[in-house]
Amino acid sequence: MKLVVAVVQDKDAGRLIEELVDRGYRATKLASTGGFLKEGNTTLLVGAEDPQVDEVVAIIKRVCRPREQVVTPLGPIGGAVDTYVPYPVEVIVGGATIFVLNVERFEHV
């Protein structure tokens, strides 16, 4: 068995869970925060049998799409504020960041 951990954008999370559940997968949705943008995103945990993992990943890839976001970095902490000019930077966020982990033991009671 594997645990698929997927960090996705909030905008895609609802549809992604629907698609997974419609196809018989079980999923847990966690509210999370990106370390770089410090904005909310969603982390999904999907426990799946090994042969199902490719389909789970394919669903995630189909539903989650990359989006461009403009972010203005904060000045360096403790740095010279008077000489720091914050330029907006474009980053491409997502579709999804996916980890597939081996599950040593699974019990559902």
Of residues 92 and 109, the one with the C-beta less far from ligand 2BA: 92
DSSP secondary structure letter of residue 77: T
Closest CA to 97 of 8, 28, 4: 8
Task: Answer for the pair 4, 96: CB distance below 8 angstroms, yes or no.
Answer: no
Per-residue x/- track, 36-55, ligand 2BA (CB under 6 A): xx---x--------------
Considering only the stretches 22-30, 34-42, 48-56, 80-88, report the one whose residues sit in contact with ligand 2BA under the rule CB under 6 A: 34-42
What is the SS3 assignment for 40-62?
Answer: EEEEEEEEECHHHHHHHHHHHHH
Residue 35 touching ligand 2BA (CB under 6 A): yes
- Confirm or reject binding of residue 93 to ligand 2BA (CB under 6 A): yes
DSSP state of 107: -
Which tokens sit at 51? Answer: 């042969």
Nearer to ligand 2BA among residue 7 and residue 60 (C-beta): 7
Interface with ligand 2BA includes 92 (CB under 6 A)? Answer: yes
